[in-house]
Structure 1
Amino acid sequence: MLAAGTAATPDGGAGPGHPDRTNDPPRSAVVSPHDPRRSVRSAAEGRFVWPLHPPPPVVRGFDPPESPYGAGHRGVDLGASIGQPVLAAGAGVVVFAGQVAGRGVISIDHDAIRTTYEPVRPEVSAGDQVYAGQRIGTVVASHRGCPGVCLHWGARRDKPPEYLDPLELLRSQSVIRLKPWPRDADD
C-alpha cells in the first residue's frame, strides 16, 4: 500500500519539499528488530500515549486467546472517525507499514513490546524512528467486528511471546514524586 504522501521526520527526513531518500526501504518492507537503524531507546524510557486524540471510547476490549492460535481479541477497538490522525503510542521504530489481508497496518517495535494499528493509511515507512504522539497515519474504513469506525490497537511482548492489553501500557506508568525532606530544627 502506498501512503498518501511522505511524512516529515523530526531529523529532517523526507517530507513535502524534500528529495526522496534512495536508501529508504520500500513502504511495505519489514525491518528486523536487530537492524542498525533501530532506536536504542527502551520503551521503559518513554511514556506511552493514546493512539488517538482525544482519548477515545473503547468499543471492544481485550480478550486474550487461550492458545497462540486460539480465538480471542488480540487488542482493543477504539472509536474513531475516518481520516482521524493515528499517533504512535510510544517511541520506537516502524517495522512494518503496508497491507495485510487487504487492510493497512503499521507495527512499531518499542524494544521488548510491539504495537500494531489497523486499519490505517500509513504515513511512515519501515525503518522510520518515531516518538510517542507522532502522527503515523490516518484511520480508514473500519474492520470486521467493529460496529462503527474503529482503530484496532494491539500490543505484544516478544519474549516470552504474549499478547498484551494495550490499555495496560497506559496504566503501567507511575510517576515518582519526591517530597521535600523536612529540615532539622538544629539547622
Structure 2
Amino acid sequence: MLLTAPLRSLAVVIAVVVVLTAAPGPGSADAGRFVWPLDPRPVVSRQFDPPEQNWLPGHRGVDLDAHVGQTVVAAGDGVVAFAGVVAGKPVVSVDHEGGLRTTYEPVEAAVAAGRRVTRGDPIGTVVAGHDGCASPACLHWGLRRGRDDYLDPLPLVERPVIRLLPV
C-alpha cells in the first residue's frame, strides 16, 4: 500500500515521537537507572546553581522538601563511598557506573562505606539542620562526575519535555 504525502509525513512524525520518548533525555544517565531519593516524589525547594569557578560559592545540588525521619533511598545502583560526618553534617555518598557519585545530606546513615546498594535501597533517614531550607527539613541531593565536575541531579530522574510543532 502506498501512502500519500500527508500520511507519509504523519508516519514520520509518529516514528520520531516514538524514538524521542523511548530514548534517555540529554544529560540523563539512562532513563530508568535512577529514582528519586525520597518517596513520594518531593518538591524541589532550591535548584542547582553552580558557581562560575569551583572555589566560588554556589549551590552544588538541589534541595528536596522532606520531613525529619523520612527514609532516603539510593537513587541508583552503586557502592557506598562514604557514610559519616563532614563539617558537622551527616552525609552519605554513593558511587555509580560512569564515574558518577550522588550525595545525600543531612542523612543519618543506615549503611556503611563499601556496601553495595541497589536503586531504591534505604540508605538512611533525613535529619534536621540543612542551612537555607525553608521547610522543617530538606534533603540536599548532589551529583558529581569525577572529582570536581558538579552536575544537576534532576536529569537523572526527570525526562525532558518534548513539544512538536505543527508541520
Alignment TM class, shorter chain as reference: 0.7 to 0.9
- The answer for the alignment partner of 2:119 in structure 1 is 132
SS in structure 2 at match of 1:168: helix
Return the alpha-carbon distance in structure 1 between the equivalents of residues 66 and 42 of structure 2: 7
Within 5 Å, which residues of 2 pair with 1:165-180?
Answer: 165-171=152-158
What is the one-letter code of the residue matched to 1:128? R
Q: By how many angstroms is 1:44 displaced?
A: 5.0
Within 5 Å, which residues of 2 pair with 1:49-88?
Answer: 49-88=35-74
Unmatched 5+ stretches in structure 2: 1-28, 161-167
- The answer for the alignment partner of 1:181 in structure 2 is none
Task: Confirm or deny: 8 A CA contact 1:46 1:90 kept in the other structure.
Answer: no
1:105 corresponds to 2:91: yes
SS in structure 2 at match of 1:51: coil
Distance 1:172 1:114, change over 3 A: farther
Q: Tell me which of 146, 156, 162 is aligned to 1:158.
A: 146
Return the alpha-carbon distance in structure 1 between the equivalents of residues 32 and 81 of structure 2: 18
Unmatched 5+ stretches in structure 1: 1-42, 174-187
What is the one-letter code of the residue matched to 2:114? G
What is the one-letter code of the residue matched to 1:158? G
Q: Higher Cα Rg: structure 1 or 2?
A: 2
Aligned length: 130
What is the one-letter code of the residue matched to 1:135? P
Return the alpha-carbon distance in structure 2 between the equivalents of residues 166 and 47 of structure 1: 13
SS in structure 2 at match of 1:107: strand
- The answer for the alignment partner of 2:79 in structure 1 is 93
1:118 corresponds to 2:118: no
What is the one-letter code of the residue matched to 1:121? E
What is the one-letter code of the residue matched to 2:145? R
Distance 1:45 1:77, change over 3 A: closer
More helix by share: 2
Under a length normalisation based on structure 1, what TM-score does the superposition of the two structures give?
0.66
Q: By how many angstroms is 1:78 displaced?
A: 0.2
1:47 corresponds to 2:33: yes
Structure 1 residue ranges, 4+ long, deviating more than 4 angstroms after superposition: 43-46
Task: Confirm or deny: 8 A CA contact 2:49 2:59 kept in the other structure.
Answer: yes
What is the one-letter code of the residue matched to 2:40? P
Task: State the identity %.
Answer: 60
Task: Confirm or deny: 8 A CA contact 1:46 1:91 kept in the other structure.
Answer: no
Under a length normalisation based on structure 2, what TM-score does the superposition of the two structures give?
0.73
Task: Confirm or deny: 8 A CA contact 2:47 2:62 kept in the other structure.
Answer: yes
Return the alpha-carbon distance in structure 2 between the equivalents of residues 139 and 65 of structure 1: 26
